[in-house]
Amino acid sequence: MRRPLIALLVGGVVLTGNTVIAAAITEHDPYTLIVKFADHIDGKALAQNHAQANTARVVQRRSLADGLGDLRPLFPIPPKGVKSQELYDSLQMGQYFVANWRQSPLTTAVIETLEGLPEIDLAELNYICRLVGSHLVPNDPLYLSQRHYEKIDLPQAWEITTGANHVTVGVLDSGADLLHPDLADRWAVNLPEYYGTPEVDDDGNGYIDDVHGYDFVNSEGSPADDRWHGTHVCGTIGASSDNSLGVAGVDWNCRLLLVKVMDKLGYSPTDIVSSGVFYAVNEGCHVINLSLSTLPTTVLETAITYAYRAGVVVVAAMGNDNTESENYPAFWSTTLAVGATDSLDNRWVAGSSRGSDFGDHICVVAPGKDIVSTYPLWHGGPYAYSTGTSMATPHVSGLAALILSVRPGLSADSLYYYICAGAEDQIGDPAEDTPGWDKYYGWGRINACNSLRLAMGQDPTGILETAESIVPAEFSLHQNYPNPFNTSTVIALQTASPGAVRLEIFNILGQEVLVREFEVQSPGLHRITWNGFDHAGKPVPSGLYFYRLVAGGHSATKKMVLLK
C-alpha cells in the first residue's frame, strides 16, 4: 500500500518526501509558544494545577520571568482517560504545554534561550496553520482591487513561498517614499552605515550614508522619491503584505535596495543609470528592475552586461509607444524584456501611439493596466492606479525574487528559463497571441505558480510537455533577432543540460567567419550578441550568413542577413 504523503511543518520549513521548500505558513501567534518540559518536571502535577502554574517559576530563570506567563496543558488527560495510556506516555504528551508570552516581540532568540534550559526539552513558536488547498489570501484591504494577481496564480504561488529576506531586488527608478507605511520595513539596510557616523563612508564603498540605497541624481544617501514612479514600482514588487494595510506585494519578504537614477521629471543621463546598475550589483542585488527606456549606449550596455555576468537578472520594460521599436535596455539580450496586458489578457493598447511595445526581443508579458500600488504620501497617496509596461515589469521582478527564495544561487539565464517556461500561452487576442513564442506576448503571460513549481523540479500540470520549444529534449536554436540586422543581432540557443557548446558562423561561400566555444553551466536559454565582426575583429560585408550550433553531438543551422 502506498504511504500517504505527510507534510510536516518544522520551524517554518515544509518537509515533503525528500524535498525541502520554504513554508508559506510563517506566521505565528505573538502571545503564546509551545514548550515540552524535561522528564524530571512533573507534567501531570502541572496539568492538575495549571491555573496556578507559571513557566517562569518552573524554569527558575529570572531573566525570563517578565515575559513568560501562565501555562496550559496541550494534551490534558480527559476524565475518562485516553485511548492508549501507554502510547500517551511513550510520546511524553503530558509534558507539552502552551505558555503565554507577555512581552513583544516573541523572537527565535527567546526560543533558543528556553531550549538551552535543563527544565525544557523543546520550545517552538506557535505557528498558524491554514487549510491545505486553501489559497493564501492576504488581509490587505486593497487586495480586492488586485485581481490581476489571481490571473498569474499568485495566491497558489504564495502557498509555496511568500519570499525570503535573503533576496534583494534593486529598484532603479525615481527613489521611493521612505516613510510609506506599506514600505517602510521593506528596505535593504546597510548596517555599517546604519550604525555608523553621519557624513562618513562607514563601509568604504564610495558612497556616504547609503543606508537604504543611494540617490545618484543628487549624490546623497537618501533616495527619496520626488516624482511617484519608484514608489509605485516598489509596492508591486514587495509591499508589506498580510498586514491589514493597503496593497500586497508580489514578494512579501524580499529586501528592496533603492537606487534613485531618475529625476522629478522622469529623466536622467545614461551615466547615472549605468552607475546605478554597477552600484546595485556590487551591493549584492539578485534582481534589478528597470522600468525605463533609452537609446542604445555602450556604457549602459556594459553596466548591464556586468550585472548579467555577475548572475543578476535584469528585468526591463518594453516601452509604451505601441510600436515594434528597439527600446533599450529591453532590447539587449542580457535583459528579460516585459510587455503589458490588460484585464482581459489582451496586449495593453490605448490608442495608435500608446500601448505595450512589441518585437523580436520580448520575453513575457504581465498585467500592466490599472495597477494599484503604493504612492507617495506627499503626492496624494498612499495608493494610486497606474498603467504601462513600467507597471508590468515589477510583477516579473517580484516573481524572480520568489523563485530565488526557494532556489538561491540560480543564474540569470536559469531564472529567465523558469519564468518563460512557466508562462501561459494563447490567453490573449488570437490574432497576436499565436502558439509558441510570438512578438506580441513572447512566451506568454507569466504564471507565478507554474514557474515556482518548475524551479523546484515539479511538473504537476505537464508544463514541460506543452512547452517543448522552451525545454528541448537536447537543444534548440532560435532564429536570430533582429533579422535582417544592421549593427548587431542576438543568437539565442537552449540546452537541456550543462556542457560544451560551439557556435559557428559562415558566409555564403561556406567560409568560416567566426567560431565561439563556451561552457553552459545550467539548462535553459542562453543568448549571444554578434556585432558583425569576424575572428580577426574586422567588420564583415553585407550579405547572407549561416550560423550553426553544435552541442551534445547534435547540430542545427539557420540563416541571417546583414544589411549595411
Residue tagged active-site, from 229, 286, 361, 478: 229
Residue tagged active-site, from 140, 153, 173, 357: 173
H or E element, residue 494: strand 489-495
Question: 211 and 184 in contact (C-beta within 8 Å)?
Answer: no
Question: 120 and 97 in contact (C-beta within 8 Å)?
Answer: no
Active site residue 173: yes
Distance in angstroms (rounded) separating the CA atoms of residues 163 and 250: 9
Residue tagged active-site, from 268, 293, 390, 397: 390
Sign of the CA dihedral with 170 first, then 176, 182, and 187 last: positive
Main-chain dihedrals φ then ψ at residue 475, nearest 5 degrees: -160, 170
Residues near 66 by Cβ (< 8 Å), separated by ≥ 6? 102, 103
Active site residue 268: no
Residues near 505 by Cβ (< 8 Å), separated by ≥ 6? 512, 513, 514, 515, 530, 545, 546, 547, 548
Q: Which three cell numbers stand for residue 284?
A: 549584492
Nearest to 171 by CA among 293, 298, 300, 262: 262
Distance in angstroms (rounded) separating the CA atoms of residues 225 and 386: 16
Distance in angstroms (rounded) separating the CA atoms of residues 204 and 177: 26
Distance in angstroms (rounded) separating the CA atoms of residues 294 and 381: 28
Main-chain dihedrals φ then ψ at residue 481, nearest 5 degrees: -145, 140
Nearest to 139 by CA among 167, 164, 158: 158
- CB environment 289-301: b (16+ within 10 A), e (fewer): bbbbbeeebeebb
Active site residue 229: yes
Strand, coil or helix: 351: coil
Distance in angstroms (rounded) separating the CA atoms of residues 187 and 494: 36
| Catalytic machinery residues | 173, 229, 390
